[in-house]
């Protein structure tokens, strides 16, 4: 395919540049370009008030697609820690408060798990994607990555809880993986693979 061929824009209903970068790496095999909703001044802020990842992802994608008249992907993802009965879950991004930084969130998590032994620190990242295109039925895709919560942060790649999410198959935290390595095993990569398969079948 010619490099001059215009890529089809898909609006990501997020202002998280880390997510935008990950999506564009995953989109390299397709003639798609992920653009952040922050590039559209008229796009509204969508409140994530759903009780599930799917509800939040679908709400974001529908709202942005309707306002902009473009295909949109809503992404809601988070961390589920078994010792905390699935928390922080849908509250992952604001675990330590509405304006909390990534470090504040994972430090709060480490504090809560301070006395929990490694064998009981099992956790997983979950991701739900909702693809909404004007005039089409929404497509829902999911992915997960199993792991455990480390006792201390390590690594400088990625974002969110990556520095404290230990991946047993890699013997390191998610933040110690290169972007290319992460995109072969991450919850978002698994959800994207699921989404691409479902889109092909439409």
CATH number reported for the structural domain that contains residue 32 in this entry: 3.90.950.10
Give the helix ranges, DSSP H, for 38-162: 53-68, 102-112
Asked whether residue 60 is domain-assigned, the answer is yes
Closest CA to 37 of 2, 67, 80: 67
Measured CA angle at 5 (ends 25, 35), to 5 deg:
40
**Residue 140's pLDDT is what?**
97
Asked whether residue 2 is domain-assigned, the answer is no
Token representation of residue 73:
């992907």
Cis ω for the linkage preceding 108 (within 30 of 0):
no
Task: Tell whether residue 77 is among the known ligand binding residues.
Answer: yes
**Residue 201's pLDDT is what?**
62
- Could you confirm whether 42 is annotated as catalytic? no
The owner of tokens 């802020």 is: 45
Distance CA 48, CA 91 (A): 9
Task: Tell whether residue 80 is among the known ligand binding residues.
Answer: no
β-bridge pairing 139-149 and 165-167: antiparallel
Which residue range(s) make up the domain with 92?
9-199
Asked whether residue 4 is domain-assigned, the answer is no
Asked whether residue 147 is domain-assigned, the answer is yes
3-state secondary structure of 184: helix
**Residue 45's pLDDT is what?**
85
Task: Tell whether residue 160 is among the known ligand binding residues.
Answer: yes
Asked whether residue 188 is domain-assigned, the answer is yes
Task: Tell whether residue 78 is among the known ligand binding residues.
Answer: no
**Residue 2's pLDDT is what?**
45
Domain count, the chain: 1
Asked whether residue 3 is domain-assigned, the answer is no
pTM of the model: 0.84
| Catalytic residue from among 49, 75, 76, 82 | 76
Asked whether residue 1 is domain-assigned, the answer is no
pLDDT of the chain, 202 residues: tens digit per residue: 444 467 788 999 888 887 788 778 777 776 778 899 999 988 888 888 899 999 999 999 999 999 999 999 999 999 999 999 999 999 999 999 999 999 999 999 999 999 999 999 999 999 999 999 998 999 999 999 999 999 999 999 989 999 999 999 999 999 999 988 998 899 988 998 898 888 776 6
């Amino acid at each position: 395919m010619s490099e001059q061929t215009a890529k089809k824009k898909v609006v990501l209903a997020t202002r998280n540049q880390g997510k935008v970068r990950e999506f564009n790496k995953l989109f390299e095999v397709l003639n798609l370009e992920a653009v952040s909703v922050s590039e559209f001044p008229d796009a509204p802020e969508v409140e994530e008030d759903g009780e599930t990842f799917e509800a939040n992802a679908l709400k974001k994608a529908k709202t942005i697609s309707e306002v902009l008249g473009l295909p949109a992907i809503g992404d809601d993802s988070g961390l589920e820690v078994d010792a905390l009965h699935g928390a922080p879950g849908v509250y992952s991004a604001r675990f330590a408060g509405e304006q909390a930084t990534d470090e504040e969130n994972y430090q709060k998590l480490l504090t809560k798990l301070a006395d929990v032994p490694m064998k009981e620190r099992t956790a997983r990242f979950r991701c739900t994607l909702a693809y909404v295109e004007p005039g089409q039925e929404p497509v829902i895709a999911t992915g997960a990555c199993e792991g455990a919560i480390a006792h201390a942060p390590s690594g400088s790649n990625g974002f969110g809880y990556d520095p404290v999410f230990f991946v047993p198959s890699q013997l390191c935290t998610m933040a110690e993986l290169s972007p290319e390595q992460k995109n072969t095993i991450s919850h978002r990569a698994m959800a994207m693979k699921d989404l691409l398969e479902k889109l092909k079948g439409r």
